[in-house]
Amino acid sequence: MDPLPFLKWLDGTAGSVAIRESTLLYPFIETTHVLTLCLFLGMIALLDFRLLGVGLRGVPVSEVARQLLPWALAGFSLMAASGVLLFYSGPVRAAGNIFFQIKMAMIALTGINALVFHFTIYRRVAVWDCDPTPPLRARLAGFWSILLWSGVVICGRMQAYNWFDKPTR
Protein backbone atom coordinates (compact mmCIF):
# COMPACT_ATOMS: atom_id res chain seq x y z
CA MET A 1 0.00 0.00 0.00
CA ASP A 2 1.36 3.40 -0.97
CA PRO A 3 1.19 5.79 1.99
CA LEU A 4 1.92 8.86 -0.16
CA PRO A 5 -1.70 9.86 -0.93
CA PHE A 6 -2.51 9.71 2.79
CA LEU A 7 0.62 11.70 3.72
CA LYS A 8 -0.20 14.28 1.08
CA TRP A 9 -3.72 14.60 2.42
CA LEU A 10 -2.30 14.98 5.95
CA ASP A 11 0.11 17.61 4.67
CA GLY A 12 -2.80 19.66 3.40
CA THR A 13 -4.96 19.56 6.54
CA ALA A 14 -5.53 22.89 8.27
CA GLY A 15 -3.65 21.87 11.44
CA SER A 16 -0.56 20.77 9.54
CA VAL A 17 -0.43 24.01 7.57
CA ALA A 18 -1.05 26.07 10.72
CA ILE A 19 1.91 24.55 12.62
CA ARG A 20 4.19 24.70 9.58
CA GLU A 21 3.49 28.35 8.91
CA SER A 22 3.33 29.59 12.52
CA THR A 23 6.04 31.88 13.85
CA LEU A 24 5.79 30.77 17.48
CA LEU A 25 3.97 27.43 17.67
CA TYR A 26 6.50 25.45 15.64
CA PRO A 27 9.53 26.71 17.64
CA PHE A 28 7.64 26.01 20.89
CA ILE A 29 6.83 22.44 19.87
CA GLU A 30 10.39 21.87 18.72
CA THR A 31 11.83 23.34 21.93
CA THR A 32 9.58 21.05 23.99
CA HIS A 33 10.77 18.10 21.92
CA VAL A 34 14.43 18.97 22.48
CA LEU A 35 14.29 19.96 26.15
CA THR A 36 12.30 16.91 27.27
CA LEU A 37 15.38 15.04 26.10
CA CYS A 38 16.91 16.00 29.46
CA LEU A 39 14.01 14.45 31.33
CA PHE A 40 13.77 11.37 29.15
CA LEU A 41 17.27 10.52 27.97
CA GLY A 42 18.91 11.98 31.08
CA MET A 43 17.00 9.58 33.32
CA ILE A 44 17.39 6.64 30.92
CA ALA A 45 21.14 7.31 30.69
CA LEU A 46 21.48 7.27 34.50
CA LEU A 47 19.72 3.88 34.60
CA ASP A 48 21.82 2.59 31.69
CA PHE A 49 25.06 3.71 33.36
CA ARG A 50 23.92 1.96 36.54
CA LEU A 51 23.26 -1.20 34.51
CA LEU A 52 26.70 -0.88 32.92
CA GLY A 53 28.23 -0.51 36.38
CA VAL A 54 29.77 2.89 35.68
CA GLY A 55 27.40 5.21 37.55
CA LEU A 56 25.38 5.29 40.82
CA ARG A 57 27.15 2.06 41.76
CA GLY A 58 26.09 2.11 45.40
CA VAL A 59 22.38 2.49 44.63
CA PRO A 60 20.28 -0.69 44.15
CA VAL A 61 19.32 -1.14 40.49
CA SER A 62 15.65 -1.67 41.36
CA GLU A 63 15.60 1.65 43.22
CA VAL A 64 17.10 3.53 40.27
CA ALA A 65 14.58 1.87 37.94
CA ARG A 66 11.56 2.36 40.21
CA GLN A 67 12.32 6.00 41.03
CA LEU A 68 13.64 7.27 37.70
CA LEU A 69 11.56 5.38 35.12
CA PRO A 70 8.32 7.26 35.92
CA TRP A 71 10.15 10.52 35.15
CA ALA A 72 11.62 9.04 32.01
CA LEU A 73 8.14 7.92 30.99
CA ALA A 74 6.75 11.39 31.58
CA GLY A 75 9.56 12.77 29.42
CA PHE A 76 8.86 10.15 26.76
CA SER A 77 5.17 11.09 26.65
CA LEU A 78 6.04 14.75 26.06
CA MET A 79 8.62 13.81 23.43
CA ALA A 80 6.18 11.51 21.66
CA ALA A 81 3.35 14.07 21.74
CA SER A 82 5.56 16.90 20.45
CA GLY A 83 7.17 14.50 17.98
CA VAL A 84 3.79 13.54 16.53
CA LEU A 85 2.99 17.24 16.09
CA LEU A 86 6.34 17.87 14.39
CA PHE A 87 5.69 14.96 12.04
CA TYR A 88 2.18 16.25 11.43
CA SER A 89 3.59 19.65 10.42
CA GLY A 90 5.38 18.10 7.44
CA PRO A 91 4.48 14.43 6.97
CA VAL A 92 5.56 14.03 3.35
CA ARG A 93 9.00 15.48 3.93
CA ALA A 94 9.54 13.62 7.24
CA ALA A 95 8.39 10.21 6.00
CA GLY A 96 10.67 10.41 2.98
CA ASN A 97 13.70 11.38 5.07
CA ILE A 98 16.18 8.54 5.53
CA PHE A 99 17.18 9.75 9.00
CA PHE A 100 13.54 9.75 10.11
CA GLN A 101 13.15 6.19 8.87
CA ILE A 102 16.29 5.01 10.68
CA LYS A 103 15.16 6.90 13.79
CA MET A 104 11.78 5.14 13.88
CA ALA A 105 13.44 1.74 13.38
CA MET A 106 15.86 2.48 16.23
CA ILE A 107 13.01 3.52 18.55
CA ALA A 108 11.32 0.19 17.81
CA LEU A 109 14.58 -1.61 18.67
CA THR A 110 14.89 0.27 22.00
CA GLY A 111 11.39 -0.97 22.81
CA ILE A 112 12.36 -4.57 22.08
CA ASN A 113 15.56 -4.15 24.12
CA ALA A 114 13.58 -2.77 27.08
CA LEU A 115 10.98 -5.58 26.87
CA VAL A 116 13.63 -8.29 26.72
CA PHE A 117 15.42 -6.73 29.71
CA HIS A 118 12.26 -6.46 31.82
CA PHE A 119 10.99 -9.96 31.09
CA THR A 120 14.30 -11.79 31.48
CA ILE A 121 17.23 -10.64 33.63
CA TYR A 122 15.28 -7.92 35.47
CA ARG A 123 12.86 -10.58 36.80
CA ARG A 124 15.74 -11.88 38.90
CA VAL A 125 16.91 -8.40 39.95
CA ALA A 126 16.67 -9.34 43.64
CA VAL A 127 19.69 -11.60 43.15
CA TRP A 128 21.96 -8.87 41.69
CA ASP A 129 20.24 -5.67 42.85
CA CYS A 130 23.18 -4.39 44.89
CA ASP A 131 26.02 -5.69 42.71
CA PRO A 132 28.18 -2.68 41.75
CA THR A 133 28.62 -4.33 38.33
CA PRO A 134 25.42 -6.12 37.21
CA PRO A 135 25.44 -9.43 35.25
CA LEU A 136 26.32 -9.49 31.55
CA ARG A 137 22.71 -9.61 30.31
CA ALA A 138 21.89 -6.45 32.26
CA ARG A 139 25.05 -4.70 31.08
CA LEU A 140 24.17 -5.60 27.50
CA ALA A 141 20.68 -4.11 27.94
CA GLY A 142 22.23 -0.89 29.24
CA PHE A 143 24.75 -0.87 26.41
CA TRP A 144 22.15 -1.30 23.67
CA SER A 145 19.84 1.22 25.27
CA ILE A 146 22.45 4.00 25.44
CA LEU A 147 23.74 3.17 21.95
CA LEU A 148 20.31 3.08 20.31
CA TRP A 149 18.97 6.18 22.06
CA SER A 150 22.11 8.10 21.09
CA GLY A 151 21.46 6.97 17.53
CA VAL A 152 17.87 8.19 17.81
CA VAL A 153 19.06 11.64 18.94
CA ILE A 154 21.68 11.82 16.18
CA CYS A 155 19.18 10.78 13.48
CA GLY A 156 16.63 13.22 14.86
CA ARG A 157 19.12 16.05 14.64
CA MET A 158 20.32 15.00 11.17
CA GLN A 159 16.72 14.91 9.96
CA ALA A 160 16.82 18.72 9.90
CA TYR A 161 19.49 18.61 7.20
CA ASN A 162 17.88 17.76 3.89
CA TRP A 163 20.98 16.13 2.41
CA PHE A 164 19.15 13.06 1.17
CA ASP A 165 15.65 14.43 0.67
CA LYS A 166 13.91 12.92 -2.29
CA PRO A 167 12.09 15.36 -4.54
CA THR A 168 8.39 14.91 -3.83
CA ARG A 169 6.32 13.54 -6.64
Nearest approach, Cβ of residue 73 and other proteins (Å): 13
Task: Mark the segment that binds other proteins (CB under 8 A) among 3-11, 63-71, 89-97, 103-111.
Answer: 63-71
Task: Mark the segment that binds other proteins (CB under 8 A) among 5-13, 67-75, 78-86, 125-133.
Answer: 67-75
The secondary structure of residue 160, as a DSSP letter, is: T
* Residue from 4, 19, 34, 104 binding other proteins (CB under 8 A): 34
How many residues line the site for other proteins (CB under 8 A)?
33
Closer by beta carbon to other proteins, 4 or else 35: 35
* Residue from 57, 123, 124, 166 binding other proteins (CB under 8 A): 57
CB-based burial of residue 101 (10 Å sphere; 0-12 exposed, 13-18 middle, 19+ buried)?
A: middle
3-state secondary structure 77-102: HHHHHHHHHHHHCCHHHHHCCHHHHH
* Residue from 17, 22, 63, 124 binding other proteins (CB under 8 A): 63
The C-alpha atoms of residue 136 and residue 127 are separated, in whole angstroms, by 14
Cβ pair 83, 159 in contact under 8 A: no
The secondary structure of residue 164, as a DSSP letter, is: T
Nearest approach, Cβ of residue 157 and other proteins (Å): 5
Backbone conformation region of residue 64, classed left if phi is above 0, alpha if psi is from -120 to 50, else beta: alpha
Q: Which residues bind other proteins (CB under 8 A)?
A: 27, 30-31, 34-35, 37-46, 49, 55-59, 63-64, 67-68, 71, 150, 153-154, 157-158, 161, 163
